Structures are given as structure tokens and as C-alpha cells.
Amino acid sequence: MKSIIHSHKSVRQYSVRTVDEATIVKIVNAAVRGSNTGNMQLYSIVLTTQPKIKQQLMPLHFNQPMVEHAPLVMTFCADINRFSHWCKLRGTEPCYDNFLWFSTALTDTVIAAENAAVEAEFAGLGICFLGTTMYNAEEIANVLNLPKGVVPVITMTAGYPEDPELPLTERLPYQAVLHFETYKDYTDSDINKYYNEFENLDKIKDIVKQNKLNNLAEVFTQKRYTKTDGDLFSKKYLDYVKKSFTMD
Amino acid sequence: MKSIIHSHKSVRQYSVRTVDEATIVKIVNAAVRGSNTGNMQLYSIVLTTQPKIKQQLMPLHFNQPMVEHAPLVMTFCADINRFSHWCKLRGTEPCYDNFLWFSTALTDTVIAAENAAVEAEFAGLGICFLGTTMYNAEEIANVLNLPKGVVPVITMTAGYPEDPELPLTERLPYQAVLHFETYKDYTDSDINKYYNEFENLDKIKDIVKQNKLNNLAEVFTQKRYTKTDGDLFSKKYLDYVKKSFTMD
């Protein structure tokens, strides 16, 4: 028997069917059940359903239409605000605003988010994760009224799929990411073996042709995720994170 | 019907039953199926089963016994090495070594890890995540021969549970982490409402008493996760991450 995970695909178009409250509670409870460091639960989830707020979020996610059309938009945030508030209220000084705790809170937040995704799919919904959350984190934080200590990490849109028969996206064979006992660094021949099948798909060749480039790697470095954009958004995200974490 | 996620508990003691190869492949394929940025799959998984290597890892995880006794020890690593190698081999310069891509790779790595955890539990195994991976990342990287561009993030031990009837760990009620439309910052009264039930559990009161402290928050700040330890390990992790990522 296969678990639901093996049929995951990102769903970007949703039917008009709404998601009932019991399903939402199940999804959030799945997030809450996730493993987390010391049971500190250093995350919060902002669930946006109102068109007015979704329309404010949409340009910050580079106008990806599912932000407006998905019944549920869930922004998962690393959150040391709630735990720190609790510490202070109990008369002790919290100390969770450094780089280690940023990385830890981010980890716990993503575990919660993936649990929510799997649970949503188990309930028949389709989901899509938006990495753009990090690109415009401060602007998203402003829309969602996030206080200091709460950093948006990833957004999940969810709803019932318009087309339940979407194909799976190709991935590298598992052997490409799995190392036995210790890491065996890749030879050129390993890289060719693992990437060639993917590169030779007709749809990938079409993308390369449309972009008038020589290969898929160039599509990544020269079109999709360029150094100029990456460095710009990296600085933006770090500057914003530094308002909540010392990062040292 | 409930998904497997709702019965998750961390399992630290395993039976002698081994995990067969088909199950391992299912777990790794679940990780690979996870959402990830641009289908770049910026992670690697090192699966350690040999006693000799587990014994080297064990002190780096502060001698948590499951590192030695678990049939499977899986170290999930953020990995820009493989993708960058591919870019170079295709004649283009990779540009994924900044703070944004560290955060992105970490996110994708944790999605893969949580998928592996859910899949393992679906197969009847028990798992435990070790956050200590970040505390001694460089030493762990040395044991596992990780090259530049590969940063250990989180470790999962897995095996068949010695005691399949472990109780669930208490969590905050979901209302404590869920915000509707925008973030509503917590009042003192909110904090009391959400944390009081947890603080009043007999087992929590016992922990406070054993530590001769006044409350659970003090157990966190003065015993479990102190500022001195946190700042030390934070600097260590950041120094190590900076060997692979510019962090600006």
C-alpha cells in the first residue's frame, strides 16, 4: 500500500468548492502534531481567506494567481514571539534570537507546514508551496501584522483541485540523493547519469528552446534564479530577519 | 478517518527487528517526492547503519543512545554541491551560495525529512528527530565526509518501536498557533490561557521540582536551552555554514 505522499503534485488551480472548518482544524492539528525542538513549537500559522487580504498578498508572491483563487492561503512563520512572551511573563529572560534558533525555528516551522500539506492531501485537497514568501518577507509581514520575532518562511495555498488527474512531476532517481554510510562526492559521470534522463524529456527540451539557451542549467542560472535577483532578495531577507534575530 | 500524522510520537527505543531494503527505498522516495524549490532538490540524505560510524556520530549527538541503537540513522543535509556541479559541467556558473539559498535549501531539506518521517511511520516504524545535528555540524560533516556545499540540518533515527503503545506528547491547543486573516498578538491573558494547561500537568510540575526552579519557563532558559550554550553553538553553526554559503 502506498501512502498519500507518493502521489503529491503541486496543485495551482482549485475548484470553487470551499473547505469546511473541520477539515481546516484537522490540517492545523496535523501541523501541531509535528516533531519540534523541545516541544517549544516555535511557529505560527496565519490563515488568510478574505479576498481583500489575499489581493494584498498576491503581488508580493509575484502575482501567482493561486494566491487569489485558492480557498486557503496559509503563511507559516518562524515565531519566537509567543515563547518569549511566555518566558517574560514567568519572570525569566528568553534567549532564542540567535542564528541557531532562527535555523531551529525555521526547521520546526517547515515540519509543521509539510504535515499540513500531507494532511490536506489526505483530505482530498491539493496544495502548492510558495517559496516567494522569503523574497518579500517584510512586505508580507506588514500585510499580516506580524510583530518582531515572527518571520514568514513559506506559504501554502490549498483547495480542492480543479483537475484531480495531474501528472506527477519528474524527480531525480532516489539514488541521486541517497548516500550509504558516508557522502560519496559525485563524479562528472554520476552527474550525467542522474541528470540526463531529466534533461532529455521533451518538455524540458522545449523550455530550453523557448529560452533560446543551450541547456537546462542555463535556464536556471540565466532565467529562473539569476545571481542578480538572488543576491538582491537574499540581502532583503537577511535584513528583515535581523530585525528579529541577531544572526550571530 | 485519521491520517498517520495524528498519532506521531518520538520513538527513542527500537526493537532488534531490522528494516528491509524495500522499506528504506519507500522512505527515501517519499522524501524525494516532497515539494521543493524549482525542482532543484537541494538536499542529500546520508543513511548510516554501520555500528562503527554510528558510534562516531553518537557523542556528537550528546550520547543520545538511539544514535547507536536505531537500525537507521539518516542525516538530512542542505546540498548545493550536486546542483552546482551540474551547472558547472553544463558550462554555466551556479549562484546559490547566499543566505536566501541557505534558507531555501534548508526548507526543502526539512520537507524531505518530514516526508521520510511520515512514510516511516506509515510503514510501522517509529522515528525521532535530533536537533543536535546543528550543534556539532562540522564534526558530523567530518564523520560523514560532507564536501563544501553540503550542510547537515537534521538527523532522523528510525526503527521498529520497542513499545508501540507510547502516549502522545501534549501540545499547545491549535488555537495557540493559528491566526485568522492576520496575526493577533498575544495578551498576557492569552499566554496564560494557552500555556496553563501544559504547565499544570503533573509530569511538568515534577520536572520543575526536580530542577529546583520556580516554573517551566525557567527550566527552558536556565537548564535546557541556556543563553551560554545557545550563543556558543550558534556561533559554531554559523561559522561552519559560512564555509559553504556567503550568508549575505
CB atoms within 10 A of CB A245: 23
14-73 in chain A: CB under 8 A from chain B = 25, 28-35, 37-41, 43-50, 53
The pLDDT assigned to A56 comes to 98
pLDDT tens, position by position, B115-136: 999 999 999 999 999 999 999 9
Query: What DSSP assignment string belongs to B169-235?
Result: PP---GGGTEEESS--PPPHHHHHHHHHHHHTSHHHHHHHHHTT-SSHHHHIIIIIS-HHHHHHHHH
Whether ipTM > 0.95 holds is yes
The number of C-beta contacts closer than 8 angstroms across A and B is: 350
Give the lowest-confidence range in A94-98, A129-133, B164-168, B224-228: B164-168
Q: Does A133 touch chain B (CB under 8 A)?
A: no
Task: Read off the amino acid at residue A151.
Answer: V
pLDDT at residue A1 greater than cutoff 90: no
d(CA A54, CA A59): 9
Q: Give residue B186's pLDDT.
A: 98
CB distance A156 to A177 below 8 Å: no
Answer yes or no: are the C-beta atoms of A137 and A151 closer than 8 Å: yes
Could you give the 3-state DSSP secondary structure of residue B25?
A: helix
B218-241 residue pLDDT tens: 999 999 999 999 999 999 999 999
pLDDT band at B56 (very low <50, low <70, confident <90, very high): very high
CB contact under 8 A, A115 and B118: yes
Question: DSSP class of residue B98?
Answer: S
B6 and A33 in contact by Cβ < 8 A?
Answer: yes
Nearest to B126 by CA among B6, B9, B3, B2: B9
Cα–Cα distance for residue pair B73/B205, rounded to 1 Å: 33
Read off the DSSP letter of residue B17.
-
> Is the Cβ–Cβ distance between B159 and B71 less than 8 Å?
yes
A222: distance to nearest CA of chain B, Å?
A: 9
| Cα–Cα dist B123/A60, whole Å | 40
Stretch B181-196: mean pLDDT: 98
Confidence of residue B164 (pLDDT cuts 50, 70, 90): confident
pLDDT confidence band for A169 (50 / 70 / 90) = very high
pTM to 2 decimal places:
0.98
At how many degrees (to 10) do helices A188-199 and A202-210 cross?
A: 90
pLDDT in tens, A173-195: 999 999 999 999 999 999 999 99
Q: Do A238 and B99 touch (CB under 8 A)?
A: yes
* pLDDT tens per residue, range B67-78: 999 999 999 999
Report the gap between the CA of A238 and the closest CA in chain B (Å).
7
| A247 touching chain B per CB within 8 A | yes
pLDDT for A164 equals: 85
What confidence score (pLDDT) does residue A183 get? Answer: 98
Nearest to A215 by CA among A233, A238, A199, A235: A199
- For residue A2, the model assigns a pLDDT of 84
Kindly report, residue by residue over A85-96, the tens digit of the pLDDT.
999 999 999 999
B14-48 pLDDT, tens per residue? 999 999 999 999 999 999 999 999 999 999 999 99
Residue in B50, B128, B150 closest to A183 by CB: B150
Note whether B82 and B44 are within 8 A (CB). Answer: yes
Q: Does B235 touch chain A (CB under 8 A)?
A: yes
Cβ contact, residue pair B131, A5, below 8 Å: no
Residue B201 at interface with chain A, using a CB cutoff of 8 Å:
no
Q: What is the mean pLDDT of residues B5-13?
A: 96
pLDDT bucket at A231, cuts 50 / 70 / 90: very high
pLDDT given for residue B2 in this prediction: 85
Three-state SS letters, chain A? CCCHHHHCCECCCECCCCCCHHHHHHHHHHHHHCCCHHHCCCEEEEEECCHHHHHHHHHHCCCCCHHHHCCEEEEEEEECHHHHHHHHHCCCCCCCCCHHHHHHHHHHHHHHHHHHHHHHHHCCCEEEEEHHHHCCHHHHHHHCCCCCCEEEEEEEEEECECCCCCCCCCCCCHHHCEEECCCCCCCHHHHHHHHHHHHCCHHHHHHHHHCCCCCHHHHHHHHHCCHHHHHHHHHHHHHHHCCCCCCC
For β-strands A72-79 and A43-48, DSSP reports them as antiparallel
Shortest distance, CA A158 to any CA of chain B (angstroms): 14
